[in-house]
């Protein structure tokens, strides 16, 4: 919750912060504070909870959470769609704008030896049948192994891998994936949100490749955050954003003595 990182199920269930109903925290001066409650209605302190979600511990320490829960759908199935990029883009637009299917997720995938494709999270057999009717003849559908809860919601990351958080305009994802600087990375990006991850082994992927990928994101009005890197890497996790003065003002209000997470403030480079 402190990192504010939502997985691909955000497509159906919204971001992690939207599941947060209550929070208890420890402030930098040692005092405790609470916000929200245990029910959906009349939730107080909502803005405070959203502020701490994604603060990376820079404003205070989260000690307790109250979260919204929902039933798991029956008959989950992950399918992978392959075909010409133009056809996949047309199908993406159709599923997002003109289809009644409430998919668990829809994301672009690409990696070494893996051509650009779409992955969809289906909730039941009826959705699979409905999808079959909407597919173009030249798009291939492949069923992936029946997912468990962990494989549906999370991404496996090795200790010796780069892990990068990407954010792009959804309509520019395919253009970004075809950029030469994106080759060699394992990419997964939400087709509706434009948010996702990039992974690659430390060996053979020098820091300058990460900087090039960051510039490619920024050229498309996006961003890149370094979540995991080699110990000897000097790359900034974040770059300065336009709201830097506001971020620093909020930090000063919550932690005036700068006791928490020195040198780490989201949206501020090498603070």
For residue 41, the model assigns a pLDDT of 52
Find the farthest-apart pair of alpha carbons in the chain and give their distance in angstroms, rounded: 63
Predicted confidence (pLDDT) at residue 254 exceeds the cutoff of 80: yes
Judged by average pLDDT, the poorest of 12-16, 188-192, 246-250, 252-256 is: 12-16
Identify the band that residue 90 occupies on the pLDDT scale cut at 50, 70 and 90: very high
On the 0-12 / 13-18 / 19+ scale of CB atoms within 10 A, 239 is middle
Q: Name the β-bridge partners of 186.
A: 199
The contacts of residue 65 (CB under 8 Å, 6+ apart) are 1, 20, 22, 23, 24
Domain limits, the chain: 10-67, 77-153, 161-228
Same fold across 10-67 and 77-153: no
Instruction: Name the CATH superfamily, with its identifier, for domain 161-228.
Output: Malonyl-CoA ACP transacylase, ACP-binding (3.30.70.250)
Query: Are the beta carbons of 1 and 16 closer than 8 angstroms?
Result: yes
Convert the pLDDT of each residue in 200-242 to its tens digit: 999 989 999 999 999 999 999 999 999 999 988 889 999 999 9
CA angle (201 as vertex; 197, 204 as ends), nearest 5: 125
77-153 placed in CATH 3.80.10: no
Nearest-angstrom CA–CA distance, 118 and 147? 17
Identify the band that residue 137 occupies on the pLDDT scale cut at 50, 70 and 90: confident
Nearest-angstrom CA–CA distance, 174 and 136? 19
**Backbone region of residue 64 per phi and psi (left: phi > 0; alpha: psi in -120 to 50; beta: other values):** beta
Convert the pLDDT of each residue in 150-172 to its tens digit: 555 556 778 899 999 999 999 99
Predicted confidence (pLDDT) at residue 1 exceeds the cutoff of 60: yes
Q: Centre a 10 Å sphere on the Cβ of residue 11 and count the other Cβ atoms it contains.
A: 22
Tell me which residue of 186, 216, 182, 181 sits closest to 200, measured CA to CA.
186
Model confidence pTM above 0.85: yes
Query: Are the beta carbons of 61 and 25 closer than 8 angstroms?
Result: yes
Select 10-67's CATH number: 3.20.20.100, 3.40.50.300, 3.30.465.10, 3.30.420.270: 3.30.465.10
- Mean residue pLDDT of the chain comes to 89
């Amino acid at each position: 919750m402190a990192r504010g990182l939502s997985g691909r199920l955000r497509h159906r269930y919204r971001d992690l912060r939207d599941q947060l109903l209550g929070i208890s925290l420890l402030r930098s001066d040692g005092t405790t504070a609470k916000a929200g409650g245990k029910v959906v209605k009349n939730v107080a302190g909502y803005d405070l909870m959203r502020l701490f979600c994604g603060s990376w511990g820079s404003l205070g320490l989260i000690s307790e959470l109250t979260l919204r829960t929902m039933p798991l759908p029956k008959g989950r199935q992950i399918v992978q769609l392959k075909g010409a990029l133009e056809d996949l883009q047309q199908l993406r637009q159709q599923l997002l704008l003109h289809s009644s299917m409430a998919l668990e997720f829809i994301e672009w995938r690409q990696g070494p030896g893996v051509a650009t494709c779409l992955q969809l999270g289906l909730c039941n057999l009826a959705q699979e049948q409905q999808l079959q009717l909407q597919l173009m003849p030249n798009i291939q559908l492949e069923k992936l192994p029946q997912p468990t809860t962990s494989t549906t919601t999370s991404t496996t990351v090795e200790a010796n891998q780069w892990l990068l958080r990407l954010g792009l305009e959804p309509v520019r994802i395919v253009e970004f994936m075809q950029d030469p600087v994106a080759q060699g990375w394992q990419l997964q990006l939400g087709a509706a949100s434009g948010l996702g991850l990039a992974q690659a082994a430390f060996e053979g992927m020098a820091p300058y490749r990460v900087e090039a990928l960051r510039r490619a994101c920024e050229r498309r009005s996006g961003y890149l955050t370094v979540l995991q890197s080699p110990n000897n890497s000097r790359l900034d996790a974040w770059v300065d954003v336009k709201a830097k003065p506001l971020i620093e003002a909020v930090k000063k209000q919550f932690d005036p003595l700068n006791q928490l997470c020195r040198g780490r403030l989201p949206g501020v480079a090498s603070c």
